[in-house]
Structure 1
Amino acid sequence: MNRRAFLGALGLGVAATALPGCSSAVDQAASGGSGGRKVLRIAQGADIAPSTLFSQNNPNMSICRTVFNTLTEYDHRTLKPMPGLARSWEQKDTSITLRLRTDVVFHSGRPFTADDVVFALDNLKQPTVASQLKHVAQAVSKVTRNGDHEVTIEFEHPVSNVFDLFEIMIIPDRESIKDLMTGKKFVGTGPFKVESYTPGQGLKLVCNDKYFKPVKLDGVQIDIITESQSMVASLRSGQTHLALDLAPLDAAAIKGDPDFHVVASDANDSAFYVASNVTVKPLDRKEVRQAIAFAVDRDRILGQVLGGIGTVSSLPWSPTSPAYDKAKAATYTRNVAKAKELIGKAGADGAKVQILYNAALGTNAKIAEIVQFNLKEIGLDATAVPLQGPDFQAKLTGDGLPGLFVNGHGFGHLSPATLIKGAFPFNAEKNSSRFESAEYRGLADDLWTKQSPEVIGKVNDFLLDQQFVSDLVVSAHTYTVSKRVKGLSYSMFDYIDLDGAELGSA
C-alpha cells in the first residue's frame, strides 16, 4: 500500500483550515468530535533514545517528525523530494542552494533561519553524533549563508544521496542541543512540543500553536509498553489509538478486526539479517559465511516469525530500490547439502559459533532460534546468546559482537549509496562485521558519485560473494491504527507525521 492509498484508507480528505495553529472546540465539533481534548495515544515497545536522534533508530520514529521537521520530504509514489523546511532549491553537480520557509519558529519562540541549517550540518560532523548519513555531511566543503532564509551547500564531489540526508536530518535548536542529547529538553519546530518526558514510561506532547500548518490534535501521549500482547490489549480497550511495530504475528492476528487498520509501510526499509564478525574463527572464512547463507530457512522466518510481512531475499534492497535484482535476490535459497559441503571445505565441522541478539526484541530472538537450529543441521556447534538492549547496541556500534549476530537494518529503499556508505552493518569504512576491503571501499565511493547499473551490479556481486552480512527477509515497519484516527502519514524513514491527523468519535 503506497502512501496515498494509506492516507485514503485512514480517511484523509477533510479540508484543512486556512490558518496555522491548534484546533479549536468549533473545529473539533465540525469534524465530528465532542469538543473535548483530542489526544492521540501511541504505544511503542521501547523507550526513545535521545542520543541517537540524528540516526534512524526505531524508538525515535514517534518524535522525529512530531517534535521536529526536516528540510525535504520524499513523495512516496515518485520518490521525488518535496518541500519541508526548505520551500525550494536549485541543485548543481556539487552544490545545492536552499530557499527556506520564512514563517517557522522553534518551540522556544526563536525564528528558524539559515544559521540553523549551518548548525545542523556541522553537528552531524561531530565525532559524538551517530548518523547513517554522516558521510554526506562530511563531504560538505563549504556552507554559505546567503541571507536569513537562503543557504548554499557545496560538496567536495558529486553525491547521489543528498536528499536522503535532508529527509533524515532533523533540525534541532542549536541553543539547547546539549539538553536534547541527554533527554532533558526537546526543542524543535514541529507540530507538537514536549511537555514532559519520563524515561522508561513515555512522553506527553502538546500542540504547537505557532506551527506553520493547521494542527487538529491537541496533543499526543506516547506510552512505552514492552509486551506486544499488552499493546494489543491496550488497542482493543481503546486506551491506545496507534501501535508502532507490533510483533508481526500479533499484527497479523488483529488484521481481521473491523476497528483497526494494520498497514505495512511502503518504504519497505526493515530488513532482517544474520551477520558475521569476520575477525572471529571460523567466520573469517568466506566459505563458512556462504554456508550459513545457504543454511538459514528464510521462508520459515518469513512465515512463522514475520507473519508473512515481507519477502525473502539475499540482497539488502527493497523491491522498489534501483539496486534490486530479482534473480540475484534468490542466490541463497535453503540448501543443506551445499552448506555442509562448504563447511567441510573450510574444515569447520563442529566449530563453535555464538549467535548474539537483542533480548528486548522478540522478533530477533525468534529468528536467532531458527538460525541456531539451522546451523546445527549443517554441523556447527551453534549457541544463541541473548544480550540486554543497551549492551547489544553498544557492541554493535563499538567494540564488536564476538560471533554471529541477528538484527535488522534499514536504508535499502532509497539511494543505494546510503546503505553501503552509512548503514552500520554495511558501512564500507567501518562496519559491525569488522569487514575491511579496499575493493569494497572503492565500489562504495563509485556508487556514491555515479549511481550506474554497472556499479550497482558490481556491488551486488561483491555482497553476495563475501556474505559478511547475510540478508534474510526484506520486511516493513507496521502501524496498527484505530479507525478513529484520520489523516495519519509517515516519512520514507517511517517517522510518524501528524501534520494532518485528527481523532474522530469512537
Structure 2
Amino acid sequence: MKYGFLRPLKILGLALFAAVAPIGTSLVAPVIAQAQELKGGTLRVGLLADMTNYDPQQFSTVNFHLIKNLYDSLIEYTPEGEAIPSLATEWTINADNTSVTLKLRDDVTFASGGKFSSADVVATLEKAANPDLGKNVFGTMAIVKDWAAPDATTITINFKAPVPTKQITDLLQFMIPIEAAGIATVETVPAGTGAYLLADRAVGQSLTMKKNPNYWRDNEPILDEIVFTIFADDAAASAALESGSIDMVYGSTARNAVRLQDAGYQVVRGPGSLVQVFRINATRAPFTNEKFRQAFNYIMDREGMVKVAYAGLGTVVALPWAPASPAFDEAYTAEFAYNMDKAKELFAASGLSAAEMSDWKMLVYGNDEPGVVISQIVQSALAEAGINIELDVRQGAEYTDALLGGDFWATFGAVGNAQKFPSRMATNSIYRTAKNPVLKDPHPFPDYVAAIDKVNATSGPEDAVKAAYAELNRVLVTDSFAVPTNTVDTGLIVASDKLGGFTLDIDNLLVARTIGFK
C-alpha cells in the first residue's frame, strides 16, 4: 500500500475552532478566518506549568506547547485521524505489513542549519529503541525489528511480525526526527526542524520562540514571535487574559474555559482527549495487595468528578481509552461504576488492617485545580470506607520529578494516545511494559505485558483482534495498577477574539505556525 498526498500539512489555511459549552447549552459556530487575512506579531501565551526539557520523545503534557513548534513529525494526522505527509512525502507498506518504506523531503533544514536526511531518522530511531533514552517512544518501538537507509531520502523500517496499518501510521506520526548531531544535548538544546526557534528561557517564568526564517512550509509561520509566561494557577492566567496582558491561555481548566466562553472568549477543543488515571505504585505497601488495588475500581465517583472538577466536559470511563478507541468497551463503565459496598468488600478481603490501609499518602499536583478536586473526592470516599490518608501536595517540577521518577504511592495523572492503536497506551509511564519508572523491571504484571504483546501481534481476522483487546481490558482491571476515571480535554485553548488560524492536532498539542492576528 502506498500513501502520498499533494497537499501540505495544514488545514488549507483555515482557522479551525470547536466550541465548548456546559451540558444543555447550544453551540454557536464561530467565524472562520482565511490564513491570508491573518497578520504576524508577538503572541503572548499563558501556561500553567513549566516544561521539563526539549526532547520530543519526552511526550509529557507540560511539553505540549513546544513539541510541534520546535519539531515536525514524519507524518501527521488530520483531526479525523487521516494520515497525511509531513517530513515524509509518501510511505509504502509492503504486502504482508512487515515493513514500511518512506520517502523524505529534501528541502528541510534543522535549527542549526544542517540539512535533514535519512541519517537523522536513523539516529532518532536508535535513540527511541534505547530503553535508557527512548522515554515515551520506547514502548512504541517494541514492534520494530530494524531499519535501513539506502540513500539520503529513503528509509525502510522492518517489523518483527505483521503489524496493523493503523499501528504503523501511529509509529510514524509519533516519530519526530531529531538532528543526529544534537541528540546528545537535546534535553537542553532543541534540535528540530520546526516553525520556530528557541530565543530565550527563564526557568519557571517564561520562554520565547522566534520565527524560523528557513522553515520549509510555504507562508508559515505567520507569527514573528511567541512569548510563553508561566502562571501559578488558571485563575491568574485567566485574569491576565481578561486584562489584555496576554492573548491566549493554553492548557486552561474546563471550568474557566466554560466561564470565559460565556464572557465572549474563543474556546478551542481539539480531538485528542486524554484519560485521567489514578496511577498506583504497586511495588509499595499497601498497594502490593491485589484486592486492595481492585477496590479502587469501585471507589471512584466518576460522574461526580466530571461534574465537579471538569464542568461536565468529559466522559466517564473505566478503561484507559477514549470512546473513539477500537478497544473501548462501554460495558466496563457500568460494571465498575461507583459502588461503596463493593469497595468495602474488597478492602475487607485484602486482609489488611485499617492502619495498614491508611499508611500512605496521595501525591497531588497543586498546580492542577481539577487534579486537586478529584484527589479530595477520593480522599473523602476513602474516609467513608474507614481509610484516612493525607494529600501530599507538590508544585511544578517537584511534582513532575516525583511522577516521572515513580516516587509516590498513588496519584492522578492523565495519559495520552487514548484514541489510537491500543498498545500506544504503553508509551505512558505507568503503562510501559519495560523500563517502567514506577513499577520497575522486571515488570510485576506479566499478564499485562503478554496482553500488550498479543495486541501488537494480532493483525488477522476481526474476531481475533477484538479478542486481543478484550483480554487486555480484563487484565487491566484485574491487575489494577492504574484506575481510569474520565476523559480530559487537555490543551484547552482560551483566546482573544483577535486571534485566528488554529489548527487542531490529534494529540491536542499546540500548533502555532498557522495562528495569526485578525
Q: TM-score range by the shorter chain?
A: 0.7 to 0.9
RMSD: 2.3
TM-score normalised to structure 2 length: 0.86
The whole-number CA distance in structure 1 between the counterparts of 2:248 and 2:228 is: 10
Tell me, what secondary structure is at the counterpart of 2:430? coil
- 1:246 pairs with one of 252, 258, 276: 252
**In structure 2, do the counterparts of structure 1 residues 195 and 281 end up closer, same or farther at CA, with 3 Å as the change threshold?**
closer
CA contact (8 A) 1:292 1:375 kept: no
Q: Give the conservation status (yes or no) of the 8 Å contact 2:270–2:505.
A: no
Describe the superposition over 1:111-143 as per-residue Cα deviations: whole angstroms up to 9, x where unpaired: 211111111111223344243221333543332
Measured at CA, do residues 127 and 340 of structure 1 come closer, stay the same or move farther in structure 2, by a change above 3 Å? Answer: closer
Contact (CA 8 Å) 1:292, 1:339: kept in 2 or not?
yes
* Distance change >3 Å, CA 197–CA 178, structure 1 → 2: farther
Q: Which residue of 2 aligns with 1:120?
A: 124
Q: For the residues of structure 2 that align with 1:32 and 1:430, how far apart are their CA atoms? A: 46
Distance in structure 1 (CA, Å) of the matches to 2:191 and 2:472: 40
| Structure 1 partner of 2:183 | 177
- Aligned residue for 1:65, secondary structure, equals helix
Equivalent residue for 2:488, pick from 456, 468, 475: 475
* CA deviation map 1:16-57 (0-9, x unaligned): 5xxxxxxxxxxxxxx375xxx512222111112215531321
Aligned residues of 1:357 and 1:406 also touching (Cα < 8 A): yes
Give 1:293 deviation, angstroms: 2.0
Q: For 1:216-266, what per-residue CA distance to the aligned partner results, in whole angstroms no more than 9, with x for missing partners? A: 2222111212221111111112222221111222222112022x1223321
2:261 to 251, 255, 259: 255
> What is the CA–CA distance in structure 2 between the aligned matches of 1:292 and 1:154, rounded to whole Å?
41
Q: Do residues 449 (structure 1) and 492 (structure 2) align?
A: no
Distance 2:516 2:283 in 1: 52
Compute the displacement of 1:376 (Å). 0.9
Q: Deviations over 1:385-407 (max 9, x none)?
A: 22344344334343542x22222
Match of 2:389? 382
1:439 matched to 2:447? The reply is yes
1:285 counterpart = 2:289 = yes
Q: Which residue of 2 aligns with 1:21?
A: none
What secondary structure is seen at the aligned counterpart in 2 of 1:119? helix
Query: Counterpart of 1:499?
Result: 513
Is residue 264 of structure 1 aligned with residue 264 of structure 2? no
Superposed displacement of residue 416, structure 1: 0.2
In the alignment, is the contact (CA less than 8 A) between 2:266 and 2:496 conserved in 1? yes
Q: Equivalent of 2:232, from 217, 226, 241?
A: 226
Contact 1:11 1:486 (C-alpha < 8 Å) held by counterparts: no
Q: CA-to-partner distance for each residue in 1:455-501, whole Å, 9 max, x for gaps?
A: 10111122123322111111221111222221111422222112322
Q: Which amino acid aligns with 1:60?
A: N
Instruction: State how far apart, in whole Å, the 1-side matches of 2:327 and 2:176 are.
Output: 27
Contact 2:139/2:427 (<8 A) preserved = yes
Verify the 8 A CA contact 2:79 2:504 in the aligned structure 1: no
Letter in 2 for 1:472: T
User: Which segment drifts farther, 125-134 or 42-51?
Assistant: 125-134
CA contact (8 A) 1:136 1:162 kept: no
Change (3 A) 1:172 1:102: same
Query: What is the aligned counterpart of 1:357 among 355, 364, 367?
Result: 364
Per the TM alignment, residue 64 of structure 1 is displaced from its structure 2 partner at its CA by 0.9
Q: 1:472–1:306: structure 2 CA closer, same or farther, 3 Å change rule?
A: same
Kindly indicate whether residue 82 of structure 2 is the aligned counterpart of residue 80 of structure 1: yes
Q: Which moved more, 1:218-227 or 1:391-400?
A: 391-400
Amino acid at match of 1:412: A
Percentage of identical aligned residues = 24
Runs of 5+ in structure 2 lacking a partner?
Answer: 1-10, 19-28, 460-464
C-alpha deviation, 1:89, in angstroms: 0.6
Deviation, 1:428, is: 3.1
Provide the residue aligned with 2:73 in structure 1. 70
Indicate the SS of the match to 2:288. coil
What are the ranges of 5 or more consecutive residues in structure 1 without an aligned counterpart?
Answer: 17-30
Rounded Cα–Cα distance in structure 2 between residues aligned with 1:503 and 1:302: 34
- Secondary structure of 1:311's match? coil
For residues 130 and 478 of structure 2, what CA distance do their matches in structure 1 show? 34
- 1:49-448 maps to which residues of 2 (within 5 A)? 49-50=52-53, 52-77=55-80, 79-92=81-94, 93-137=97-141, 139-160=143-164, 161-182=167-188, 185-213=189-217, 214-215=219-220, 216-258=222-264, 260-268=265-273, 270-350=274-354, 351-352=357-358, 353-398=360-405, 400-401=407-408, 403-419=409-425, 421-431=426-436, 432-433=438-439, 436-448=444-456
SS of alignment partner, residue 496 of structure 1: coil
Equivalent position SS for 1:309: coil
Secondary structure of 2:267 counterpart: strand
Q: Aligned partners of 1:230 and 1:400: how far apart in 2?
A: 29
Name the SS for the 2:122 alignment partner.
helix
Q: Secondary structure at the match of 2:101?
A: strand
1:357 Cα offset (Å): 2.1
The number of equivalent residue pairs is 478
**More displaced 10-residue stretch of structure 1: 136-145 or 446-455:** 136-145
Q: Distance in 2 between matches of 1:481 and 1:234?
A: 11
Partner Cα distance (1:61, 1:225) in 2: 16
Verify the 8 A CA contact 1:315 1:471 in the aligned structure 2.
yes
- 1:49/1:396 Cα in 2 relative to 1: closer, same or farther (>3 Å)? closer
The aligned residue for residue 26 of structure 1 is none
2: CA distance, partners of 1:10 / 1:196: 34
Aligned residue in 1 for 2:34 = 14
Question: CA offset at residue 63 of structure 1?
Answer: 1.4
Q: Alpha carbons of 1:124 and 1:209: their partners in 2 closer, same or farther (altered >3 Å)?
A: same
CA distance in structure 2 between the aligned counterparts of 1:129 and 1:43, rounded to whole angstroms? 30
Distance in 1 separating the partners of 2:290 and 2:279 = 12
Amino acid at match of 2:98: T
SS in 1 for 2:328: coil
Q: Offset at 1:65?
A: 0.9
